[in-house]
Chains A and B, each alone.
Chain A
Amino acid sequence: MLYLKRVVVQAVGGLHGYISLQWQAKERQWRIKTMTRTNNKPACTAQSGSSGSGPPDLVLRLSGRWSLAEQRPALSEVVAEVDASGHKTLRFDVDALQSWDTGLLIFVRSCQDWAEAQGLICELADLPEGVQNMVSLSREVPKNRNMPEKQVRDWLSGVGEHSIGMFDGLMRYFTFTGELVLDLFAFLTGRAQMRRKDCLFILQNTGAMAVPIVALLSFLTGLIIAFIGVIQLQKFAADIYVADLVGLAMTRELAAVMAGVIMAGRTGAAFAAQIGSMQVNEEVDALTTFGISPMQFLVLPRVIAMVLMMPLLCVCANLVGILGGMVVAVGIADVTLVQYINQIDSAVSTTDFAVGVFKSAVFGVIIAMAGCYRGLYCGKDAASVGLAATSAVVTAITWIVIADAVFAVLFHILGI
């Protein structure tokens, strides 16, 4: 009841807010209309005025409200018919000027530029003091002239530059990998600089915290495979082989690949975003100046954590996936619990299990490296952090699939 009341009160409040907003907008429109009806449009006319002796001054008569909200005349329109050659000085007449803001300031600045181009002296003294001060303040520091040249290139140089860029990228990747290997040696000999606390935190984050989502998705995967399998196998009255199907598919392939894909999306992206935003904030530079290698401090713990945790996640995925298959086998097919377990036991060898677990460790390295590499070579703005996260996931998944294919061929040749 209380809840209902709160909902009603909120709805009424929202409606009231909306109506008053609409009303305000109406009122504003009306105000604008009435404002434009009265004639205080900004205008400017150019005339020759006398200046005692010598050539006459060119006088720009300003009137109305010179604000950004109004439609102001451009200088080029005002001086279109003016012949500047007979004049020496450009002056302003502001008797009819009603109000001004930046709109007038940019106009005066363009007048100055025009006067300079025409060889006239631009006399600001008749303008309101605020205008004079602001304009002169804006002229105090000369404009920065060393703009990068706009480079126009033909397509061939474009292709060349692109290939060189790709080659550089490739070399950078090799450097990254090489350094990582050296740092791994440093770690094994106990010389790596990293904080225990960081390591434990990353271990927890990549391991324990990922268990629920990995378990859920593996369970469903096992379920689906068993389901598809049972429908086909029932045609041959070979229901019991659903255990072989689920067992082999999970242990050899799917547990590792599923865990890899989930972790690429979950953790690989997080690595890239973390290290990327550290790059943006110059935190990575700060590490370097203290002589702390970002490779050892940031990348190494993440790679190690992934290598340690991925096999565990894979084992977990195996168990839960087979469990999922069991639910379908016992529930739909003519298989008892004991039959299913016995069949799994005979179908899945230790080698199959080991193959899956080994692959998952390799996938872990791939994910961690893709995430850290993209983060470390991230640009210096917010958009490139997003880009780093995206490409970390894409790179990781692509390489996982490629590696899986290579392993399939390799294990076939080796007869494992």
Chain B
Amino acid sequence: MEPSTEKISVKDLSMAYGDFVVMRSLNFSVKRGEVKVIMGGSGCGKSTLLKHMIGLERSSSGEIFYDGELFRPDATAGDAFCRRFGVLFQGGALWTSMTVAENIALPLESYTRLRASEIREVVEFKLSLVGLAGFGHRYPSELSGGMRKRAGLARAIALDPQILFFDEPSAGLDPLSSRRLDDLILELRAALGATVVVVTHELASIFAIADSALFLDAETKSALCDGNPNDLIDDPTVDSKVRNFLKRGELDQATAPAIK
């Protein structure tokens, strides 16, 4: 059978917290080796969508397929299925009672049969990828917010996962680190053939890394458009909210005097 190019496909996914509906019937797919950016205003449900995709939250309706296989979070928890995921949480979510090195070593110890010396080497390498070489002995509380974020990223890529989920990876990073992070994401994609789903607001990185971008709108509780941001920005058929977002609200400013 020829492998389909769709790594992830989301069908009719509705998300809600109790009675509070976050998004209604989302449909989109992520191709193998693609970098998909999920963007949208703060609080529109991007993190929630990510949590649904990795099975931390249960959808009120709809299905998610990985490689054409239905994702059933209950049946596959802790399984090889989930080991294909690498997740960077919005707050880093490092385990605070372990050093940074131990944080990265834990998945390696649990899922591989590497010797201790090899694990140390891998940890040091992953840390150097995110620019934190030599910080392994520190505790998370001894790192800055951006460093914690990068350490979380190193942990996410510890097992060379096939699918990477990043929740606002560049929030709290300086422009240089943020740029390096974009490079790293593209490199990981190229080197591991990884499929990447990134939640981000950072316009520069949206344009730099996104193969396609999904715009979530809180008002209509649906995805407004899905496509390459470089095309979206100049396409007049695209909803003006999206173009406005991509232009940092310049459309609003341009139209405001006209309304007056």
Interface residues of A in 61-82 (CB under 8 A from B): 68-69
**Whole-angstrom distance between the alpha carbons of A383 and B95 in the complex?**
10
**Whole-angstrom distance between the alpha carbons of A131 and B187 in the complex?**
9
| Residues of A contacting B95 in the complex (Cβ-Cβ under 8 angstroms) | 382
Find A68's partner among B96, B112, B141 (CB 8 Å cutoff): B112
- Whether B131 and A381, one on each chain, are in contact in the complex, defined by CB atoms closer than 8 angstroms, is no
**Whole-angstrom distance between the alpha carbons of A280 and B191 in the complex?**
38
Knowing A102-B160, A142-B133 touch, does A109 contact B125 (C-beta < 8 A)? yes
- Whether B129 and A137, one on each chain, are in contact in the complex, defined by CB atoms closer than 8 angstroms, is yes
Closest B-chain residue to A133, C-beta based? Answer: B187
Count contacts on A: residues with CB < 8 A to the other chain. Answer: 33
- Whether B191 and A17, one on each chain, are in contact in the complex, defined by CB atoms closer than 8 angstroms, is no
Knowing A68-B114, A102-B125, A105-B125 touch, does A137 contact B187 (C-beta < 8 A)? yes
* Chain A 82-97 per-residue mask, 1 if CB under 8 angstroms from chain B, else 0: 0000000000000000
Interface flag for B128 (CB, 8 Å) = yes
- Whether B125 and A138, one on each chain, are in contact in the complex, defined by CB atoms closer than 8 angstroms, is yes
Identify the stretch in A143-151, A185-193, A255-263 within 8 Å (CB) of chain B at 4 or more residues: A143-151
Shortest CB distance B230–A (Å): 23
Interface flag for A134 (CB, 8 Å) = yes
Interface flag for B184 (CB, 8 Å) = yes
Shortest CB distance B132–A (Å): 8
Knowing A134-B129, A144-B134 touch, does A381 contact B141 (C-beta < 8 A)? yes
Interface flag for B28 (CB, 8 Å) = no
**Whole-angstrom distance between the alpha carbons of A130 and B186 in the complex?**
10
Closest A-chain residue to B183, C-beta based? Answer: A137
The A interface is mostly helix, strand or loop, or mixed, namely helix
Shortest CB distance B176–A (Å): 10
- Whether A68 and B134, one on each chain, are in contact in the complex, defined by CB atoms closer than 8 angstroms, is no
| Residues of B contacting A68 in the complex (Cβ-Cβ under 8 angstroms) | 112, 114, 118, 122, 160
**Whole-angstrom distance between the alpha carbons of A333 and B180 in the complex?**
84
Interface residues of B in 115-132 (CB under 8 A from A): 118, 121-122, 125-126, 128-129, 131-132
Shortest CB distance A106–B (Å): 5
Shortest CB distance A382–B (Å): 5
Knowing A28-B80, A109-B125, A142-B133 touch, does A380 contact B141 (C-beta < 8 A)? yes
| Residues of A contacting B135 in the complex (Cβ-Cβ under 8 angstroms) | 144
- Whether A381 and B112, one on each chain, are in contact in the complex, defined by CB atoms closer than 8 angstroms, is no
The B interface is mostly helix, strand or loop, or mixed, namely helix
* Chain A 369-409 per-residue mask, 1 if CB under 8 angstroms from chain B, else 0: 00000000001111110000000000000000000000000
Knowing A141-B131, A383-B97 touch, does A147 contact B137 (C-beta < 8 A)? yes
Counting chain B residues whose Cβ lies within 8 A of the other chain, the interface size class is 20 to 34
Closest A-chain residue to B98, C-beta based? Answer: A381
Closest A-chain residue to B159, C-beta based? Answer: A68
Closest B-chain residue to A384, C-beta based? Answer: B97
Q: Which of A106, A109, A147 has the most CB of B within 10 A?
A: A106
Interface residues of A in 121-146 (CB under 8 A from B): 129-131, 133-134, 137-145
- Whether A138 and B80, one on each chain, are in contact in the complex, defined by CB atoms closer than 8 angstroms, is no
- Whether A134 and B191, one on each chain, are in contact in the complex, defined by CB atoms closer than 8 angstroms, is yes
Interface flag for B192 (CB, 8 Å) = yes
Interface residues of A in 345-387 (CB under 8 A from B): 379-384
- Whether A140 and B139, one on each chain, are in contact in the complex, defined by CB atoms closer than 8 angstroms, is no
- Whether A141 and B187, one on each chain, are in contact in the complex, defined by CB atoms closer than 8 angstroms, is no
**Whole-angstrom distance between the alpha carbons of A185 and B204 in the complex?**
56
Interface flag for A339 (CB, 8 Å) = no
Shortest CB distance A101–B (Å): 5
**Whole-angstrom distance between the alpha carbons of A133 and B96 in the complex?**
32
Shortest CB distance A26–B (Å): 14
Interface flag for A110 (CB, 8 Å) = yes
Interface residues of A in 143-173 (CB under 8 A from B): 143-145, 147-148
Interface flag for B106 (CB, 8 Å) = no
Closest B-chain residue to A146, C-beta based? Answer: B134
- Whether A144 and B133, one on each chain, are in contact in the complex, defined by CB atoms closer than 8 angstroms, is yes
Shortest CB distance A213–B (Å): 30
Q: Which of B125, B183, B191 has the most CB of A within 10 A?
A: B191
Residues of A within 8 A of B (CB): 17, 28, 68-69, 101-102, 105-106, 109-110, 129-131, 133-134, 137-145, 147-148, 280, 379-384
- Please name 7 further chain A to chain B contacts, defined as beta carbons within 8 Å, in addition to the given A102-B160, A140-B131, sorted by A numbering: A69-B112, A134-B191, A138-B125, A143-B128, A147-B134, A148-B137, A383-B97
15 interchain pairs, CB-CB under 8 A? A17-B75, A68-B118, A102-B126, A102-B160, A106-B118, A109-B121, A134-B191, A137-B180, A137-B187, A138-B125, A140-B131, A143-B128, A148-B137, A381-B141, A383-B96
3 smallest A-B Cβ distances: which pairs? A144-B134, A381-B96, A380-B141
